[in-house]
Amino acid sequence: MKATAKAKATATAKATATDTWRLRGTLRIAITCLPLLGGCTKTKRGGEPPTPSPTPTLTASPSASPLPSLAAVVDAGPADPRVAAACRSTHWGKAPAAKVTPFAIDGERDKGCPTHLDEKAQALLGVTVDFGELAGFSLDGDCTTFHQASQPDACAYDAEISYPGEGRPALDHGQSVLAPVRSGTRWRRGRTPRVEQLSPAQRAQQANHWLAVARAEHASVASFARASLELMAVAAPPGLLAACARAMVDEVRHAELTFALASAYAGQPLDPGPMPALTPRGGGLVAVARDTFIEGCVAETSAVLRAQRALAVAEDPAVRAVLTRIVRDETRHAELAWQTVAWCIAEGGAEVVEAVRAAAREHEARNGTGSSKLRFEGPEHEHAHEHPWRDVIAPSLELLGV
C-alpha cells in the first residue's frame, strides 16, 4: 500500500515538473513570437517614449461585494455608507494600537499603528475569512483616519488573503470583487461528480472548495470585460481584443462547470448573484501593463500550475474533465497576459518596463512566501515544483527585459 502511494507520489511529482517546464516553454514562445500581434516579431525594449494616448474618463469605483459563506447563501444588507466610503475592504477590522502591537511583523508604523500584522490578529480584529487563506493584515490608512476622529488610538486593517481562484481576479483597489451566492440552477454545465461514497464532512469540504473556485471563475468574466475596455483605451491591436473576448467566454464556461460541481457536492442549487459593476481604470499603457502583470501574468500563470497539480491527483471523471479544460484555457489566458505586457512594452518603452519591474518587486516583497508559492496539502505533493515565480514568472520577465 505504502509502495503504491510512493509510486503515485513520484509519478505525480514527475508529471508536475514536466507540466511546469512545458508551461515555461509555451510562455517563452508566446513572448518571443507574439502570435496574437500578427506573427513572430521582435519585442522592442526600452524604446522611445510613446505617443500619448487619450486617457479614459475615471468614474467612481463600485463598493466591494459581500462575501457570504456557504452556510449563509444570502445577500448581505447595506453597510453604513460613511464607514463603507472610508473602509473599502470587505475584510477589515480595528483595535487600539496597544492591543495590535504584539502582532506586528516589523517595526514599521504609520498613524501611530504598526503597518503589518500577522494572521494571529484575526480574533482580535474580529475578521472572518470565508474564502481563501488569511496571510496577514495591512494598515488601511483611510479607514484608520476615519476611526481616529472618534477614537485617537484606533488602528484599522485590511486582511491579506491568498485566493484559491483559478484565474484572473477582478480587483478593485487591490481587493478581490466577487458576486454573492444565491440559490439557482442557471449556471450549470458538464457531468455530475460522484458524491455517494463521500462523508458529509468530505462533501462540505469539496463544496466549499469548488464554490470558492466558481466565484473566482465568475469574477474573471468581469475582469476580462473591463480589460477589453482598458485595452481599447490604449489602442490595442485586434488580436489582443479578440483573445480577450474569447477568454471572457472561457470564463463563463469555467464558472458554469465549477458552480455545477459546487452544487453537486453541496447538495443544493448554487448560482452567482449580481456582480458589482467594474469601471475601466485610467493610466494608459503603464497602468494596463502593471495591472495585466498582476492580474494576468501572475494570477493566470499560477492558476495553470495549480490546476495542473489538481488534475494530477484528481480521480473523479467529472472533476478531471473540468480541470482538463481549465488547464487548457488558462494556459491560453496566461499567454494573452504575457503578450499584452510585451505589446505595452513595445509601445511604451522604458517607462512601461520600469512600471512592470516595480510591480514585480512589490508583489514579490508582499507575497514572497505567500501567493508566489503554491500551497498544497498531502504528502504526494512534497517533491513537486512549488514556485511559479521562480520557475515560470521570473524567467518570463527576463525575456521581456524586465
| Of 284, 183, 167, the residue nearest 222 (C-alpha) | 167
Beta carbon nearer to Fe ion, 88 or 218? 218
Whichever of 335 and 380 has its CB closer to Fe ion, that residue is 335
Site string for Fe ion, 158-187 (x = CB under 5 A): ---------xx-------------------
Helix (H) or strand (E) holding 155: strand 154-162
Most distant CA pair in the chain, distance: 65
Q: Which is nearer to Fe ion, 167 or 280 (CB)?
A: 167
The least distance separating Fe ion from the CB of residue 30, rounded to whole angstroms, comes to 15
Q: Return d(Cα 118, Cα 134) in angstroms, integer.
A: 9
CA distance 152 to 144: 9
Q: Please state the closest distance from residue 213 (CB atom) to Fe ion, in A.
A: 9
Complex with Fe ion: residue 244 or 288, whichever CB lies closer: 244
- Residue 140 or 217 having the CB closest to Fe ion: 217
Among 88, 218, 281, 333, binds Fe ion (CB under 5 A): 333
CB closer to Fe ion, 158 vs 217: 217
In 13-140 the beta strands, taken as DSSP E runs, fall at 92-96, 109-110, 113-114, 116-117, 133-139
Sign of the CA dihedral with 85 first, then 91, 97, and 101 last: negative
Nearest distance, CB of residue 309 and Fe ion, angstroms? 16
Find the shortest distance in angstroms from Cβ 166 to Fe ion.
5
Closest residue to Fe ion using C-beta atoms: 167
What is d(CA 13, CA 15) in angstroms, rounded to the nearest whole number? 5
Q: Which H/E stretch holds residue 270?
A: strand 270-272
Q: Tell me how far, at minimum, the Cβ of 43 lies from Fe ion, in Å.
A: 23
Which x/- pattern over 238-257 shows residues binding Fe ion (rule: CB under 5 A)? -------------x--x---
Does the footprint of Fe ion cover residue 218 (CB under 5 A)? no
Q: Identify the CA nearest to 303 among candidates 169, 133, 129, 173.
A: 169
Residue 237 CA to chain centroid, in angstroms? 25
Give residues with Cβ within 8 angstroms of 62, minimum separation 6: 172, 177, 276, 277, 278, 279
Binding-site member from 19, 140, 158, 217 for Fe ion (CB under 5 A): 217
Q: How far is the CB of 258 from Fe ion (least distance, A)?
A: 8
Number of amino acids touching Fe ion (CB under 5 A)? 7
Binding string, residues 369-398; x marks residues near Fe ion by CB under 5 A: ------------------------------
If you write DSSP's letter for every residue of 47-73 in order, what string do you get?
A: -SPPPPPPPPPP-PPPPPPP---TT--
Please give the Cα distance from 273 to 118 (Å, whole number): 32
Residue 272 beta carbon to Fe ion: minimum distance, rounded to whole angstroms: 14
> How far apart are CB 254 and Fe ion at their closest, in Å?
4
Q: Please, which residue, 19 or 251, has the CB nearer to Fe ion?
A: 251
Q: Where does this chain bind Fe ion (CB under 5 A)?
A: 167-168, 217, 251, 254, 330, 333
